[in-house]
Amino acid sequence: MKVLSLTFALVLAECILAAPSKDIAHKVKETVIPPRGWKKHSPAPKDVTIELRLALPQPNFSELEKHLYEVSDPTHHRYGEHLSKEEVEELVAPHPESLRLVDEWLVSHGLPVESFIRSPAQDWVKIIVPVGVAEEMLDTEYHLWVHEKSGKSAIRTTSWSLPEFLFDHIEVAHPTTYFPSTKSMTATFHISPDVPPTEANAKTLLSSLDVPSAHNGQVDPECNNNITISCLQQIYNMKGYVPTQTHHNRIGLTGYLEQFANIADLQSFYAYSRPEAVGSSFNVVDINGGQNSQNLSEAGVEANLDTQYAFGLTFPTPGTFFTVGGSPPIDIDNHTPTNTNEPYQDWVDYMLGHPNPPQTVSTSYGDDEQTVPESYARRVCNGFAQLGARGVSLLFSSGDFGVGDGNPDPETQVCQTNDGRNVTRFIPTFPATCPFVTSVGGTIKIPEVAVDFSGGGFSHLFSTPSYQQEAVNAFLQQLPEGTYPGLFNPSGRGFPDISAQSERFIVFVGGQRGHVGGTSASAPTVAAIISNLNDARLAHGLPPLGFLNPLLYKIQHSGALNDITSGNNPGCGTQGFNATAGWDPLTGLGTPNFGKLKDIVLRH
């Protein structure tokens, strides 16, 4: 928190007396049509407080992006020379004029400078204000909105404005037009029953499956029924690897919406699938009031899946579970909302302020991209770029609804734009579409094929980044002319980038053993593999991998990625995209071969 000097405070007071901001003309900054299903309930109470975040422009972000690509490109002489926290903050810091004007404006609304909460780079400022004050500042009206199907509620507006002199000095105001996802940002998982081997496949179970890329070229056939730690080690050629850099390497997982990771369940899982890890646990970091109840009845399927596999595959590497609060329900009758922010930015703020964040982080949550205002999506994505420049590998699950809109039944998906035009098109998932993260799709069976729910496609917000231009063009060129006209953006960022097994993972939840699936199983699996690659690099005196995508696309044809060429991801009344040779928008570049990847990353 910064405190202005007495001289500057006096200057501010003179400016305020000379030109009260409430008399200055406003100009509309952003207007949206509320996402489908949201209905205006009533005016928001004027005295209810909200945490209002303001994002100031980052005039040198293009320079940071240049650094990011150089230190992430294995053919560049700067590969692995990640930036320090201070170097990143200097590159994204706002112009002093933006700081001055925004501070003056906030003070003019009766907000003391000492109450401002700033991000480490000062490119975000957070203030706690009554709704009535926020409405005056942004020349808008807040309302309580309710989602008819889910019952979720939020304080939001559909349009906001700024004084003209501030128009180029504030990029985002939040919460304003970003409505919570109708999926409540729930983790992408499927629960499947425990199915014992049938007589029909009994003979198959007597012999191993030949998989040339796997450990010793074979995989236990039982892995077609139950995915365990051993199965993943076999399939991805990682069996026998034991991390050694436990004082330097760390892996992190994020948990949102009261998804609690249960330690008793973890011990049961370890006893079943990783006996040598029994007795070990993980660190818990709470952000913005996040909790991690250890009541077995409150154990989260997603949180347990993530911790059991990411930490089980990387044992004894230290693991951290980030439990993030935010976006609780609003009691409309009592008008007592306690927080109206979405959790992504809270987590990014924490990580950017951390002097030594985990080198690998997996997240299995997402929104329909079209429900996230472009200004907000780009700023969150830019935050991910800052972490990548500092050497952090960020992995996000690609989603569980194929090319569809989050409705589990492909036949009833709406798949229409929420901009008032109601145009039919595929619905990509954010943050998986951010070009500065690694998006993870899903596979199934041995040998592997694409799973039909694997989220994938092309962003409508972000253009195709240079590192994947060649791979995406190759896919588009083999599509028959006229395929899905208008349903996807061929100039958009293609996702996912990579994939892994995503069905029939054995987990323990609430003291019970069962199966879980989804790309939320794929993401922590790939994250664990990346963490072990970081371990190998650190053991050889090399820096962590950091932002992965430039490396992955450079080694596409090296044999270190198992190309998946069968399967499709239906949705929106279509068959979706097909898995093909090379990159495709449901399995990306394929699945990882740890042994070959290790050989490659130790050469750079």
| Mean pLDDT taken over the chain | 89
So what's the pLDDT on residue 21? 45
Look at 178-187, 263-272, 548-557 and tell me which has the smallest mean pLDDT.
Answer: 178-187
- Looking at the structure, tell me whether residues 241 and 371 fall in a common domain: yes
The per-residue pLDDT for 3 is 39
| 344, part of any domain | no
Tell me the percentage of the chain whose pLDDT exceeds 70: 87
Distance CA 83, CA 64 (A): 9
Q: Are residues 123 and 194 in the same domain?
A: no
Confidence class of residue 328 from pLDDT cuts 50, 70 and 90? very low
Q: Which long-range contacts (CB under 8 A, 24 or more apart) does 162-165 make?
A: 162/26, 162/27, 162/29, 162/138, 163/21, 163/24, 163/25, 163/26, 163/27, 163/105, 164/24, 164/25, 164/26, 164/27, 165/24, 165/101
Residue 393 has φ and ψ, to the nearest 5°, of -95, 120
CA separation for the pair 55, 77 (Å, rounded): 34
- Active site residue: 302, 349, 368, 497, which one? 302
Q: Is the pLDDT of residue 40 over 90?
A: yes
Q: Provide the Cα torsion 95, 392, 326, 176; round to 10°.
A: 40
Cα separation, 152 vs 330, in Å, equals 8
Token duo for residue 544:
């962590």
Question: What pLDDT score was predicted for residue 278?
Answer: 98
Band of pLDDT at residue 326, cut at 50, 70 and 90 = low
The secondary structure of 414-463 as a DSSP string is --B-SSSS--B----EETTT-TTSEEEEEEETTTTEE-TT---EEEEEEE
Lowest pLDDT segment from 53-67, 169-183, 489-503: 169-183
User: Are the C-beta atoms of 161 and 153 separated by less than 8 Å?
Assistant: no
Identify whether 520 is a catalytic site residue: yes
In this prediction, residue 449 has a pLDDT band, given cuts at 50, 70 and 90, of very high
Query: Which range has the top average pLDDT, 122-131, 182-191, 336-345?
Result: 122-131
- pLDDT > 90 in the chain, percent: 75
157 and 258 co-located in one domain: no
Q: Above 80 in pLDDT, residue 146?
A: yes
**Domain boundary at 150, 174, 198, which?**
174
Residue at 343 is within a domain: no
Q: Is residue 231 part of a domain?
A: yes
For residues 498 and 392, what is the distance between their CA atoms, to the nearest angstrom? Answer: 17
| E-only strand ranges, 355-437 | 360-363, 367-368, 393-397, 429-430
Query: Does the annotation mark 63 as catalytic?
Result: no
Residue 331: pLDDT band by 50, 70, 90 thresholds?
very low
Whether residue 200 is found in the same domain as residue 278:
yes
Domain total of the chain: 2
pLDDT at res. 297: 87
* pLDDT bracket for residue 455 (50, 70, 90): very high
Residue 183 has pLDDT above 60, yes or no: no
Q: What is the pLDDT of residue 288?
A: 82
Q: How far apart are CA 412 and CA 429, in angstroms?
A: 18
- In whole angstroms, give the CA distance from residue 124 to residue 349: 9
What is the distance between the alpha carbons of residues 392 and 386, in angstroms, rounded to a whole number?
A: 9
Q: Are residues 486 and 549 in the same domain?
A: yes
Pair 312, 413 in one domain: yes
For residue 142, the 8-state DSSP code is -
Count the Cβ atoms, other than its own, within 10 Å of residue 586. Answer: 30
End-to-end CA distance of the chain: 41
Q: Taking Cα atoms as reference points, which of 467, 465, 592, 444 lies closest to residue 517?
A: 444
Q: Quick check: 460 pLDDT over 70?
A: yes
Q: What is the pLDDT of residue 165?
A: 96
Beta-carbon-side half-sphere exposure of residue 92 (alpha carbons within 13 Å): 29
Surface-to-core class of residue 482, CB atoms within 10 Å of its CB (0-12 exposed, 13-18 middle, 19+ buried): exposed
- pLDDT tens-digit series, residues 422-441: 889 999 999 999 999 999 99
Q: Is the pLDDT of residue 17 over 60?
A: no
- Kindly give, in sequence order, each residue whose CB lies less than 8 Å from that of residue 282, ignoring residues fewer than 6 positions away: 261, 266, 307, 311, 318, 319, 320, 321
455 close to 400: Cβ distance less than 8 angstroms: yes
- On the 0-12 / 13-18 / 19+ scale of CB atoms within 10 A, 194 is exposed
pLDDT at 267 > cutoff 70 = yes
Contact present, 75 and 144 (Cβ < 8 Å): no
CA-wise closest residue to 93 among 378, 386, 434, 437? 386
Tell whether 89 and 120 lie within a shared domain: yes
Residue 9: per-residue pLDDT: 44
> How many other CB atoms sit within 10 Å of the CB of residue 589?
26
Residues 545 and 405 grouped into a single domain: yes
- Structural domain contains residue 338: no
In angstroms and rounded to an integer, the radius of gyration of the C-alpha atoms of the chain is: 24
**Residue 333 in domain:** no
Predicted confidence (pLDDT) at residue 55 exceeds the cutoff of 80: yes
The answer to the question of residue 93 being in a domain is yes
Catalytic residue, from 161, 397, 459, 520: name it: 520
Least confident of 336-350, 362-376, 555-569: 336-350
Task: Work out the pLDDT band at 181, boundaries 50, 70, 90.
Answer: low
The CATH number of whichever domain residue 593 belongs to comes to: 3.40.50.200
Residue 150 has pLDDT above 90, yes or no: no
What per-residue confidence (pLDDT) applies to 203?
Answer: 47
Q: At which residue do the structure tokens 């205002």 appear?
A: 373
Q: Is residue 342 part of a domain?
A: no
Q: Is 302 a catalytic residue?
A: yes
Domain end, chosen from 174, 200, 218, is at 174
Given pLDDT bands bounded at 50, 70 and 90, which one contains residue 191?
A: low
Residues 222, 163 within the same domain = no
Calpha distance 366→355 (Å, rounded): 27
Which comes out higher in pLDDT, residue 351 or 325? 351
d(CA 60, CA 55): 14
Catalytic residue among 104, 135, 139, 306: 306
CA atoms of 226 and 302, how far apart (whole Å): 18
Integer Cα distance of 417 and 426 in angstroms: 9
Q: 16 pLDDT exceeds 50?
A: no
Do 592 and 456 fall within a single domain?
A: yes
pLDDT for residue 478 is more than 70? yes
- Whether 164 maps to a domain, the answer reads yes
Helix (H, G, I), strand (E, B) or coil at 224: helix
Whether residues 252 and 167 share a domain: the answer is no
pLDDT band at 186 (very low <50, low <70, confident <90, very high): very low
- Reported as a pLDDT band with limits 50, 70 and 90, residue 514 is very high
- Domain hosting 236: range is 190-324+359-601
Q: Identify the band that residue 23 occupies on the pLDDT scale cut at 50, 70 and 90.
A: low
**Where among 147, 174, 201 does a domain terminate?**
174
The pLDDT value given to residue 332 = 45
Residues 69 and 200 in one domain: no
Q: Is the pLDDT of residue 336 over 50?
A: no
What is the token pair recorded at 285? 């970091």
Q: Is the pLDDT of residue 13 over 90?
A: no
